Amino acid sequence: MEINGKTKNFVILGNPIGHTLSPAMYNTAFRSLKLNCIYTVCQVELENLGAAVAGLKALGIQGGNVTIPFKEKIIPFLDGISEESKLIGAVNTLYWTKGQFWGTNTDGIGFIRALQGRGYAIQGSPGAVILGAGGAAKAVAVSLMMAGMKKLCIINRNKERGTMLIEKIRELGGEAVFVEWDTANIKAALEEYCLLVNTTPLGMVPDIEKGPQVEQEWLTPQHFVVDLIYNPRETQLVKKAQAQGCKTMGGLDMLLEQGVVAFEHWFKEKVPREAMARELERWFA
Ligand code: NAP
């Protein structure tokens, strides 16, 4: 890919940012469509976030993404945010619309598309247990509710954060309960709900032996187990679930789908989904 005077720039803002797979995924997409675009990373200090956004606008950056820890903090610096972002309360994608620099959230829709892609029927499902109540949990919970999930059970270590999330779901017209983070409570929730979504970082590299407190024998083939962690590709939780005959989904599916939705915001071209998926697979191989 030749970089020249007409190359359009996309960036991801975060801190730390060295772990991101986004440049690999999007630059592959650009190459596959022969788009004269490049996607790079910017590690930004929190106190410089406003200046960084002003800089992106002044430089005519075409779009990009935002990751930890700026998904919520960036909102006041943008010209506007989408309805999805307002509902979730966080932004992960930046784009221009009508001369303004806006943010949207593709994590939620990416999660839903990934889950449906694995054959899970959300409408008609009696409910889901979500471990965690952070940024990813908000996107998952709001999107599941909007997609027709009947009831959500949020289990979180920090009670205040968990309670805030169920209040948000109830304000949006959904049904949700908060349960304290405790081994017996997780076991009891698994007896009631059959979709389990881990949104905590428990089990992520380098601590791959750790995981949420879910014993293998609590899982049955009726459970569908999702872990948002994509590194490692198969967490201890996913391995336990597979050993019990559960259907499972790792975090790579959501990573890909949220990227596909972001790409749809930037370009009218057909998204090169297969090329993006292959690049993610290659990275892990
Ligand atoms: P976050 O906002 O920091 O939230 C982390 C959540 O995990 C909080 O609810 C926190 O509980 C809980 N937690 C952290 N350490 C814990 C521990 N030792 N024991 C029990 N609970 C613990 O992070 P996030 O942005 O939601 O990201 C969470 C995970 O999702 C990360 O692994 C991230 O890589 C993954 N993710 C994946 C995708 C994807 O596309 N696959 C997208 C987004 C995020 P407290 O409230 O008690 O602190």
Residues with a catalytic annotation lie at 71
> What is the rounded average pLDDT of the residues 67-74?
95
Main-chain dihedrals φ then ψ at residue 166, nearest 5 degrees: -70, -30
| Ligand 1: residue whose CA is nearest its atom 13 | 200
Cα 92 to ligand 1 centre (Å): 15
3.40.640.10, 3.40.50.720, 3.90.1170.50, 3.40.30.10: CATH of 108-249: 3.40.50.720
Residue range 90-120, pLDDT digits in tens: 999 999 999 999 999 999 999 999 999 999 9
> What is the rounded average pLDDT of the residues 151-172?
97
> What is the rounded average pLDDT of the residues 214-222?
97
Cα 114 to ligand 1 centre (Å): 19
Q: What residues does each domain of the chain span? A: 8-105+255-283, 108-249
Question: What per-residue confidence (pLDDT) applies to 124?
Answer: 84
Ligand 1 proximal residues by C-beta, below 6 Å: 68, 107, 132-137, 156-158, 161, 181, 199-202, 204, 228-230, 251, 254-255, 258
Question: What per-residue confidence (pLDDT) applies to 126?
Answer: 87
| Ligand 1: residue whose CA is nearest its atom 32 | 201
| Ligand 1: residue whose CA is nearest its atom 20 | 157
Q: Is the pLDDT of residue 285 over 90?
A: no
Q: Give CA–CA dist 240/253, Å, rounded.
A: 19
Cβ atoms of 178 and 151 closer than 8 Å: no
| Ligand 1: residue whose CA is nearest its atom 7 | 200
Q: In what order do the strands lie in the sheet with 128-131?
A: 175-180, 151-156, 128-131, 195-198, 224-227, 247-249
Question: What per-residue confidence (pLDDT) applies to 207?
Answer: 93
Cα 233 to ligand 1 centre (Å): 16
Tell me whether the CATH fold assigned to 8-105+255-283 matches the one assigned to 108-249.
yes
Pocket test for ligand 1, best of 15, 17, 199, 214 (most atoms within 8 A of CB): 199
Cα 49 to ligand 1 centre (Å): 22
Pocket test for ligand 1, best of 68, 142, 157 (most atoms within 8 A of CB): 157
Question: What per-residue confidence (pLDDT) applies to 19?
Answer: 87
Confidence of residue 202 (pLDDT cuts 50, 70, 90): very high
| Ligand 1: residue whose CA is nearest its atom 31 | 201
Question: What per-residue confidence (pLDDT) applies to 76?
Answer: 98
Question: What per-residue confidence (pLDDT) applies to 284?
Answer: 86
Q: Which is the closest atom of ligand 1 to the Cα of 110?
A: 40
Cα 127 to ligand 1 centre (Å): 21
Cα 4 to ligand 1 centre (Å): 40
Range 8-105+255-283: architecture per CATH: 3-Layer(aba) Sandwich (3.40)
Cβ atoms of 38 and 30 closer than 8 Å: yes
Q: Is the pLDDT of residue 269 over 90?
A: no
Query: Could you tell me the pTM of the whole model?
Result: 0.95
Residue range 21-30, pLDDT digits in tens: 999 999 999 9
